[in-house]
Structure 1
């Protein structure tokens, strides 16, 4: 009998261990109707969108396995409460529910019409996030409902006051949410949630602020994908700081010729990061053309570095060349998508917003960096060329 008991214990122990090898996400929501639920999360080399589930006692069960802990989202397709249909036939998706997915049992309860506000239990990261999650959800709800109301009530040709009000609410709430996150990071420096929050802020913080915030976070999650992204951003910002030597481009121009920054030494060179899809980038071209005409003979050159958004290189080449022809820009042009696996200029130069302009001196060192379509560079060029 003793031997039989030990055998049973061994079998049940194996079963328990196996059960913990994957995750189970249990979902119970009201107003579900016939909307299609989905669970989405990234893996090391792909992105999973799971719509397969079973039902047990009124709960939808999603099962699978993740490596470590992943930031997941849950929502419902085709729910008019969480999307906006535009006049042109397009669709603006609303917020989904974000949570951390680990190989544990995780429970979601809420309303399909406000799924982004659902309660999540299970997992250490979700437990920590719960400290401020309700307040974040309330801000998200106010921002989303104000935007949806603006689209629902706006009449073409009338004053867009409703959109101005929605934008104001969005900006105010974004500031409130950032403060919530910063306070959380201060109080929970060893939380994966803190690393996630900082990763979302990395494109809006200065180099000094980002580096200081990263240093203050604990080492517990410095190997996470969030931390690696932040560290990469810091590294690229350090490599392209004022006074640093410009990183070689390793790209070909629109005619297939190699572009070598070394050959441009003796000139002031402006690296212009842009894209055919970027309105502010395109609208800055007329002004750049004036600057080019004014200073080219004085030793000024521009190198346009375009980043296109299609998955196919042929499509990117087509839209890139079309934009160059339409805008009539005659300076050096390279396409970052071409040969991006060998060298990604956008990543190497730490570019996270378009347009970004980086000015190099005659020795090939970085002397200025500008983000946006403003004309701040004018004063710098006047000082350099004396006119």
Structure 2
């Protein structure tokens, strides 16, 4: 057991031991000319790279400041990234500043990864929890796509049970490996189904280095939000720039009811909800309602954010720091999905949350007279 824990400690401290990563890939000569894509994140920003197989080889180089969950995709038919990133031949792994050897025989999904201690540790972690999230998702999608509609409920139940079993194993792993980076990975998944009252003590049991990783800090913020972002409590103040770069504070609207609306241009349910919000805003703005929309768009989708405001005709105030899911207000409020909103009264207290639907005007009018 101690040997296993030591192996899994490597990813926590290993990123700083080498200044860059080097992915050295090999593939059959018949794959010459095929494109390979790599996606990973640094400080919440999605980075993309691509290369072409030449003389049976391909290579990626770069650097990360912390372990990054990465996706590599092999485009066998050069269909283009749009088609292959989510349904193509792909592999998920954790990227550190290490040297990886990737040997492809027939597919990337079945390729051999070697050389990097992080990958060895990740493979060991997956074996402990029974395969991992994406393996279950891929198997479920494959089975459902070939099934008759009548069989779908049973298939969904089968894979829901697999997820439940995996999360039980993740909890065991967390308790046995408090200093492993993969314990915060496991806890992040556990938190998708478990209440924060169960997540918080597991988080507190982790080592300091693990709690201070990026996913550790995000989990801490979510835990804090469960205690501070509640109906009946004061809404934490915040400041973010509007579409013109002018700073806007929540406290600027003290004396009014403010619906703090978390959304994004790429969020279809958000866009579908906008007509309901427009109707409510039109009926209640003269009675003291303001809408402060916080977008989870990032720098790459800034233009889409501006266009969505114009296309949907949204006349209220819009702000964003363009950091995507790492938006500081979203982190402060523990936002894990959009759309989501909080109604703040004239004194700055949260009085309702997640008000939406065709009855939104009526729901808001119950507060705003």
Q: Give the TM-score range, shorter chain.
A: 0.5 to 0.7
What is the DSSP-based 3-state SS (H/G/I as helix, E as strand, rest coil) of the residue aligned with 2:211? coil
Call closer, same or farther: CA 1:84–1:216 in 2, change over 3 Å: farther
Residue equivalent to 2:311: 322
Indicate whether 1:356 and 2:340 are aligned: yes
Correspondence 1:1-387 to 2 at 5 A: 33-34=31-32, 35-37=34-36, 41-42=40-41, 47=47, 49=49, 51=51, 66=63, 70-71=67-68, 73=70, 75-79=72-76, 92-94=86-88, 96-102=90-96, 112-113=106-107, 115=109, 122-123=116-117, 126-127=120-121, 129-133=123-127, 136-137=130-131, 140-141=134-135, 143-148=137-142, 150-151=144-145, 171-199=160-188, 207-234=196-223, 240-242=229-231, 243-252=233-242, 261-262=250-251, 264-289=253-278, 291-292=280-281, 299-308=288-297, 311=300, 313-324=302-313, 329-330=314-315, 332-336=316-320, 344-370=328-354, 381=364, 384=367
Structure number with greater CO (CA < 8 Å, separation at least 6) is 2
Call closer, same or farther: CA 1:312–1:76 in 2, change over 3 Å: closer
Contact 1:271 1:358 in 2 (8 A): yes
Call closer, same or farther: CA 1:384–1:138 in 2, change over 3 Å: closer
| Alignment TM-score, normalising by the size of structure 2 | 0.67
1:271 CA displacement: 1.3
5+ long unaligned stretches in structure 2: 1-16
Highest Rg: 1 or 2? 1
5+ long unaligned stretches in structure 1: 1-18
What is the DSSP-based 3-state SS (H/G/I as helix, E as strand, rest coil) of the residue aligned with 2:309? helix
1:69 and 1:337 map into 2 onto residues whose CA distance is 22
> After the TM superposition, which of the residue ranges 315-324 and 64-73 deviates more from structure 2?
64-73
1:258 and 1:74 map into 2 onto residues whose CA distance is 36
Q: CA RMSD in A?
A: 5.0
What per-residue deviation string (whole Å, max 9, x for no partner) do you get for residues 331-385 of structure 1? Answer: x231425799xx85444433331111111122012233338x5689789757646
1:116 CA displacement: 6.2
2:46 and 2:277 map into 1 onto residues whose CA distance is 39
What is the DSSP-based 3-state SS (H/G/I as helix, E as strand, rest coil) of the residue aligned with 2:178? coil
1:64 CA displacement: 5.6
Call closer, same or farther: CA 1:149–1:209 in 2, change over 3 Å: closer
| Alignment TM-score, normalising by the size of structure 1 | 0.65
- What is the total number of aligned residue pairs between the two structures? 348
What per-residue deviation string (whole Å, max 9, x for no partner) do you get for residues 59-118 of structure 1? Answer: x686867567623546442147xx9999xx787335743334455565656764361685
1:49 CA displacement: 3.6
